[in-house]
Structure 1
Amino acid sequence: MDTKVNSDVSSAVSTNASTHSDRLSDSRRLDALAMTDVMSPDTDEAHERCVRLASRILKAPVSLVSYVDSERQFFKAQCGLSGPFAEERGTPLTHSFCQYVVTSDQPLVVRDSREDPILSHNAAVEDLGVVAYLGVPVHAPSGEVLGSFCVIDTVPREWTAEDLAALEDLVAMLEAELTLRQGAHEREILLQEMSHRIKNLFSLVSSMVRLERRRWDTPRELADSIIARVDALSVAHDMIVPVVEATKTGDGERANFGELLSKVLAPHTSEARITLTGDATTIGPKAVTYVTLAVHELATNAAKYGALSVDDGRLDLRWLADDKNLVLDWLETGHVWTEAALGGGGFGSQLLKISIEGQLNGTLTTEVADDKFTHRMTLPLERLEF
């Protein structure tokens, strides 16, 4: 005999309006929506298959996967819905039960919405015929709630424990698909970075040879110095290899932030031209990936166009961790900067944006003056833990 699931609407929708709005507008959640790209209008067969299964298994006239931002809900897939909202593939939040699944991060079980003091005033009741509703949260690979997988009936309905379990199983399938896609996307970015890095190796080696030949008097001294630099460059380059596996499996080593910077910058170190000063901070394996990519890109630009491309150039890195963020100041002096040093819309700029903003939820600001070139990287500590 099927066990009924008690409708617990009050606990899911009783959050005050201010808190409810804050949760919908949470920057990490909105970033996760953007990174997973689930609100794009492209038809997605995995989502379509899941909603068809949901309607068939639960014998519900309507099923939806609804992703919710701060202003609207978007139907990534739908089955059984008709009318203008079906054609528009979404509604404003005035017509949304799914928003409460998002802000509560728990299933919403509604036998008859017309009897509920809050939901009865929602425009979805009249305009979409939403009387009975069963919704389960859909999470991003990083854990944020993206939306709701729901089934709807136009008449009152007692939802069973088996109904809820079936919907949760379908959500688990969908979340696994999102995780696989993110992993594939991250590996593609890493492969592009590998290609980008290999192209840069030729420029870096050429720059090293040009600088080193002005510093040494004998061929042996020159050769020894260049060999040491190329060996260091090889070590820094190899850091990306275990990153591919760590991204795929979720495993990997934590790293001391300062030691990580030292390894990445080792190919460019010459006497006292580079200084590193900062707090002892440990970061997680996936954060290591993206910090490595970002710092390597900045160092490459400095070696090709900036302070590390001239004898008198200096690079000073200083970082400080407070309760919320790690702030890294990257200061180059001793050189005159050109437009090339500022970067453009190429893959290097894209890589910095993906690494710092997309994956670490951080910011990168740049300032150029006559006598210095400064980057400030601000990284939330909670993102550096993963």
Structure 2
Amino acid sequence: MTTFDATGHRHFTPVDDQAPQRGARLRQLDLGERAEPAFDAFAQHVAKTLGVPNAMVNFITDRHQYLGGFYSAVLPPEPVGMPADFDPRKGPMDTGYCPHVIARGIALVLEDVCDYPRFAGNDIVDRMNVRSYLGAPLIDRTGIALGTVCVIDTEPRPWGRDGLQAIKTLAGEGVQLIHQHERERPAR
């Protein structure tokens, strides 16, 4: 879906109508602002299940993206030479593919991002050498897509139906982890 602003400029990141509700829900859950060890472990499980080097649990707040869970067998955990207050897990809303998953509300399969002009120009292609992406929304019990579970690779991958089914199943596991987090967190 291509959208345009009032001046006629094309938006490459789709309009997200649920951002305010999602932001409020993530604040209620106390997610999307810091790394969570349980979600890091889950990201590692996702990577190993799909046989990829990189997996993430990406919470999309109303202001930014945050990798609440991150695993990489190839990327360093912390970038070198960055300011002390730099958070490598935090990113803008117009970077990557997860905002598209959130706005669409369904999984996104990109076997080779370079096959899609809309996605090949995303700055994450160069910054993280992304060539393939597979992600699904994390839709909690309230019906709000809070984020995504996703994997990326530096090589094109033929995900096929099996990959699509696997990421959807893993998204279900991720939602259960979110609900467990909700049950176990101290009452406010």
1:1-386 equivalent positions in 2, closer than 5 A: 14-17=1-4, 20-23=14-17, 25=19, 27-45=20-38, 47-80=39-72, 81-82=75-76, 84=79, 88-184=88-184, 189=187
Equivalent pair of 1:101/1:108 in contact (CA under 8 Å)? yes
- TM (norm. structure 1) is 0.41
SS at match of 1:168: helix
Contact 2:66-2:90 at 8 Å conserved across structures = yes
Q: C-alpha distance in 2, partners of 1:149/1:22?
A: 18
Secondary structure in 2 matching 1:102: helix
Instruction: Give the CA RMSD over aligned residues.
Output: 2.5
CA contact (8 A) 2:96 2:124 kept: yes
Q: Structure 2 vs 1, CA of residues 151 and 22 (structure 1 numbering), >3 Å: closer, same or farther?
A: closer
Offset of residue 65 of structure 1: 0.7
Please list every run of at least 4 consecutive aligned residues from structure 1 whose deviation after the TM superposition is greater than 4 angstroms.
Answer: none
> Counterparts of 1:15 and 1:28 in 2: how far apart (Å)?
23
Alpha-carbon distance in structure 1 between the residues aligned to 2:22 and 2:113: 27
What is the identity percentage for the equivalent residue pairs of Structure 1 and Structure 2? 23
Q: Which runs of 5+ in 2 are unaligned?
A: 6-10
Q: Mind listing any 5+ residue stretches in structure 1 that lack a counterpart?
A: 1-13, 190-349, 351-386
Q: Report the alpha carbon displacement of residue 138 of structure 1 after superposing the two structures with TM.
A: 0.7
Given that 1:96 and 1:122 are in contact with CA atoms closer than 8 Å, whether structure 2 keeps it comes out as yes
Task: Report the equivalent of 1:340.
Answer: none
SS at match of 1:23: coil
Change over 3 Å in CA distance of 1:71–1:113 after alignment to 2: farther
Shift of 1:124: 0.6
State the SS of the aligned residue for 1:95: coil
Q: In the aligned structure 2, how far is the partner of 1:151 from the partner of 1:22?
A: 22
SS at match of 1:94: coil
Relative contact order (alpha carbons < 8 A, sep ≥ 6): 1 or 2 greater? 2
Contact 1:114–1:120 (CA under 8 A) maintained in structure 2: yes
Rg comparison, structure with higher value:
1
Alignment check: 8 A CA contact 1:58 1:163 kept: yes
Residues 22-51 of structure 1 deviation map (CA, whole Å, 9 limit, x = unaligned): 4253x2122112112221314332x12221
Task: Please give the TM-score of this superposition, normalised by the length of structure 2.
Answer: 0.80
